[in-house]
Chains A and B, each alone.
Chain A
Amino acid sequence: MDGDHETQVQAVESCIASGAKGILITASDTKAITDVVKQARDNGVLVIALDTPLEPIDAADATFATDNFKAGELIGQWAKATLGDEAENARIAMLDLSPSAPSVDVLRDQGFLKGFGIDIKDENKIGDEDDPRVVGHDVTSGNEEGGRTAMENLLQRDPSINVVYTINEPSAAGAYEALKSFGKEKDVLIVSVDGGCPGVKNIQDGVIGATSQQYPLLMASKGIEAIAQYAKDGTLPQPTEGLEFFNTGVNLVTDKPVDGVESISVQEGLDRCWG
């Protein structure tokens, strides 16, 4: 669940008040949080954004994140290669996060579509593409209940759906329940993002075809190291070359690898999974 913005502002304020050396934050409103973040930095606090970059990205001292666009792109490419020639006739359902469309939502959604070879028009906007292969977008709140309801509604709009993108693995599990109740679970390819342990097990069981695994624990430990370093001698963490943030990496996890898209096995995914 995503926390709310107001609570995060209060949390940052109490960190400043308590004289903290550094703050790790996964912003729920990436634009609005920047004011209080600036306050913190003016007070000499090192602010590191985890998982979700702030907007603009240099509002934080450093960002330890996974490339969410890349995560989406990988599952898009995998789905396209798995379908082969049938990709031309794909019927795609997009299960997003929330009506407010935070940046993680946009990046994964647009990354997937680009990876699948669909013209995404404005890459900051969900749902502006006009490719007829996209049946529709719906929101899931990132949980099983929302995933199921959203999938049911999209299937009602077009029962021929055969590719399902999901924002995360809980919503993928919900979508699978809906497909099962429609008797379609065998004919549909589900892809997702996260790489949590229940999600990787769902690949093993054939519920999800592939997922882009991210490493939130690595983000956190790198973040803590950076703050310790800063407190010791004032050195700032450096971003990965060519990127505006320190990339903690993303791997495609699947048991059905395809040519041209690098992936790791489910076993390796299970060894590195979290949650």
Chain B
Amino acid sequence: MSETTRRDGDYEASLKDSDTAVAAFKRRRRGFFGNVQHFLHGSPTMVPVIVLLLSVAAFGFVAPNFFSAFNLSLIMQQVAIVGILAAAQSLVILTAGIDLSVAAVMVMISVIMGRLSVEFGIPVPIAIVIGFFCGAGTGVLNGLLVTKVRLPPFITTLGTWNVFLALNYYFSNRETIRSQTLDAEAPLLKVFGERFNIGGAVLTWGVVLMVAIFAVLWYVLNRTAWGRHVYAIGDDKEAAELAGIRTDRTLVSVYMVAGIICALAAWASIGRVGSVSPTSFFEANLESITAVVIGGISLFGGRGSILGPMIGAIIVGVFNSGLRLAGVDVLWQLFATGWLIIIAVAIDQWIRKISS
């Protein structure tokens, strides 16, 4: 063999003038915006975080009294309930669904907990537990309608929203249970409204609850099989099914967990409002969707970090507080929230271009 090679000459000689660099991917010049796009694609929570920091800084300059530990903690108190609802909403939206009934479920459960404790004299802890079962039940109903009857989530929850709203008025007799009555007979219902101080900041247990719910959900979604299944179903349900995930069962469990989180929100809302009010929070379902969208979770499912919606809820709270402190007419709060949603989704679309 070696003889033949030598006779035919030195093969390597022809390589003399060729490129000697190690094989590598071609580097595209991305430019500043390209780099930003790549960075944001890798860490989707950064968009809302940046918006939050910028808006806090901006309102700190223009609105008197805005930039204080007290005011910033007050904003946290104000967004806690919508934030908790946004956690429930996120789970459903991650599966490419939507839940229009979250606020109605919450108000109905708060009425159930309140009436059972005050009117029917059931011990408060038991009334709360019954409330949680009702919350889970509403979720299972939504989930079964979506998976077994095969209704689109939008239609399912549009229907159950009205049903739960009607039941809320039926159970409550359209009457408020007053703060003083709760103090006397069921103080445990108001536990999430209790405050504690850290420096100049005043927080409630409701705020702690919100942060805890998001922390638990972050762990479950990123570190457990169930959580990965939720993302997989949202990304491509058929592919998830072919991969052996029992999609229907997982979907029902997602709606059930969302219902349980709504029951937690109900308990916390009694502390926030002070009384059990069947008319409060009637816009909270849309506010929870707003928080999810601004938080960078894709309405098409399967994409986005669970921590985003918490930041999204805080951003809306910061804008409302900042604009009110600056003495701006309330209609501009609606205006600002509207543009926040549009800009958030536009940025999301821009970042997604990278994968195509």
A interface list, Cβ under 8 A from B? 1, 99, 127, 136, 138-139, 141-146, 148-149, 152-153, 156-157, 170, 173-174, 176-177, 180-181, 198, 201-202, 205, 207, 275
Q: Are A173 and B272 in contact (CB under 8 A)?
A: no
A122 to chain B, nearest CB (A): 16
Centre residue among A99, A153, A170, A174 by max chain B CB count within 10 A: A153
Number of A-B contacts (CB under 8 A): 86
A275-B277 contact, Cβ under 8 Å, with A99-B334, A139-B330 = no
Q: Among B140-148, B175-183, B226-234, B336-344, which stretch is in contact with chain A?
A: B175-183
- Which residues of chain A are within 8 angstroms of B175 by Cβ–Cβ distance? 198, 275
Q: Are A177 and B273 in contact (CB under 8 A)?
A: yes
- Which residues of chain B are within 8 angstroms of A275 by Cβ–Cβ distance? 174-175
B335 to chain A, nearest CB (A): 11
A-B contact pairs, 8 of them (CB 8 A): A143-B279, A153-B324, A156-B321, A156-B325, A170-B279, A173-B176, A181-B195, A201-B180
Centre residue among A139, A177, A207 by max chain B CB count within 10 A: A177
Bound-complex Cα distance A157 to B208 (A): 26
- Which residues of chain A are within 8 angstroms of B277 by Cβ–Cβ distance? 143-145, 170
Q: Are B321 and A153 in contact (CB under 8 A)?
A: yes
B175 to chain A, nearest CB (A): 7
Q: Are A138 and B280 in contact (CB under 8 A)?
A: no
Contacting A at CB under 8 A, from B223-277, are: 269, 272-275, 277
Is B282 in contact with chain A by the CB < 8 A criterion?
yes
Bound-complex Cα distance A153 to B65 (A): 11
- Which residues of chain B are within 8 angstroms of A170 by Cβ–Cβ distance? 176, 277, 279
- Which residues of chain B are within 8 angstroms of A1 by Cβ–Cβ distance? 279, 282
6 further A-B pairs in the complex, CB-CB below 8 A; given A136-B327, A177-B193, A198-B178: A99-B331, A142-B279, A157-B325, A174-B274, A177-B274, A202-B180
Bound-complex Cα distance A98 to B301 (A): 35
0/1 interface trace, chain B 162-189, chain A, CB 8 Å (1 if under): 0000000000001110111000000000
- Which residues of chain B are within 8 angstroms of A177 by Cβ–Cβ distance? 179, 193, 273-274
List 4 tightest A-B contacts by C-beta distance, closest first: A177-B274, A145-B280, A144-B277, A153-B324
Main secondary structure of the interface of A (DSSP, over half): helix
Closest residue of chain A to B190 (Cβ to Cβ) is A177
0/1 interface trace, chain B 197-222, chain A, CB 8 Å (1 if under): 00000100000000000000000000
- Which residues of chain B are within 8 angstroms of A99 by Cβ–Cβ distance? 329-331, 334
Q: Are A174 and B273 in contact (CB under 8 A)?
A: yes
Closest residue of chain A to B279 (Cβ to Cβ) is A143
Bound-complex Cα distance A174 to B276 (A): 11
- Which residues of chain A are within 8 angstroms of B193 by Cβ–Cβ distance? 177
**Which of A138, A144, A156, A205 has a CB less than 8 Å from the CB of B275?**
A144
Bound-complex Cα distance A145 to B180 (A): 16
Closest residue of chain B to A142 (Cβ to Cβ) is B279
- Which residues of chain B are within 8 angstroms of A174 by Cβ–Cβ distance? 273-274
B342 to chain A, nearest CB (A): 20
Centre residue among B176, B269, B272, B327 by max chain A CB count within 10 A: B176
- Which residues of chain A are within 8 angstroms of B273 by Cβ–Cβ distance? 144-145, 148, 174, 177
Is B86 in contact with chain A by the CB < 8 A criterion?
no
Bound-complex Cα distance A231 to B280 (A): 40
Is B74 in contact with chain A by the CB < 8 A criterion?
yes
Q: Are B330 and A138 in contact (CB under 8 A)?
A: yes
A152-B327 contact, Cβ under 8 Å, with A1-B282, A201-B178 = no
Bound-complex Cα distance A201 to B179 (A): 11
- Which residues of chain A are within 8 angstroms of B180 by Cβ–Cβ distance? 201-202, 205, 207
- Which residues of chain B are within 8 angstroms of A142 by Cβ–Cβ distance? 279
**Which of A139, A143, A145, A156 has a CB less than 8 Å from the CB of B272?**
A145
B173 to chain A, nearest CB (A): 9
A125 to chain B, nearest CB (A): 12
